[in-house]
């Protein structure tokens, strides 16, 4: 299993509509990816590691998929629709990482 993490860096004054992201964007992603998204989580950044520090990331999602190949095959044809929805909740550019899920 792999995890695709999409992380939006905190930027003072930047817009990030958490409700839209949670209630509209991520259900759209799940629907479009189908079986390539077994499930996902959404994070809302609250604070950084130091007292009174802003969060490193204002928002994140983690999409769980059977494999890199399954994710890429499902994401590729749906990328235009998914990416076109981003301006509805933010102008921030995300950082993306694909990781292998390792359970101890």
Taking the CA atoms of 102, 95, 40 and 72 in sequence, report the sign of the dihedral they define. Answer: negative
In sequence order, which ranges of the chain are alpha helices (DSSP H)? 18-20, 26-33, 68-85
Question: How much is the pLDDT for 26?
Answer: 98
Q: What is the DSSP letter of 32?
A: H
> In the predicted model, what is the mean pLDDT of residues 19-43?
98
Q: Tell me the mean pLDDT in the region 17-36.
A: 98
Residue predicted with more confidence, 6 or 104 = 6
pLDDT value at 103 more than 90: no
Nearest residue to 62 via CA among 26, 10, 104? 26
User: Mean pLDDT across the stretch 27-31?
Assistant: 98
The rounded distance, in Å, linking the Cα atoms of 41 and 99 is 15
**Which residues have C-beta within 8 Å of that of residue 8, sequence separation ≥ 6?**
16, 57, 58, 59, 60, 90, 92, 94, 95
Q: What is the CATH number of the domain that holds 82?
A: 3.30.70.100
**Count of domains for the chain:** 1
- For residue 104, pLDDT over 60 is answered with no
Q: Are strands 2-9 and 39-44 parallel, antiparallel or unpaired?
A: unpaired
Structural domain of 12: 2-100
Q: What share of the chain has pLDDT > 90, as a percent?
A: 98
Average confidence score pLDDT of the chain:
97
| Six-digit token string for 70 | 């399954």
What pLDDT digit, counting tens, does each position of 35-85 carry? 999 999 999 999 999 999 999 999 999 999 999 999 999 999 999 999 999
State the pTM of this model: 0.94
């Amino acid at each position: 299993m792999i995890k695709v993490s999409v992380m939006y860096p905190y930027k003072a004054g930047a817009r990030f509509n958490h409700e839209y992201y949670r209630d509209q964007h991520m259900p759209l992603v799940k629907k479009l990816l189908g079986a390539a998204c077994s499930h996902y989580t959404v994070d809302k950044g609250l604070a950084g590691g130091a007292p009174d520090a802003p969060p490193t990331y204002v928002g994140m999602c983690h999409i769980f998929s059977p494999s890199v190949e399954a994710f890429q095959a499902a994401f590729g044809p749906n990328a235009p629709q998914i990416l076109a929805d981003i301006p509805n909740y933010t102008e921030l550019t995300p950082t993306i990482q694909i990781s292998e899920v390792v359970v101890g």
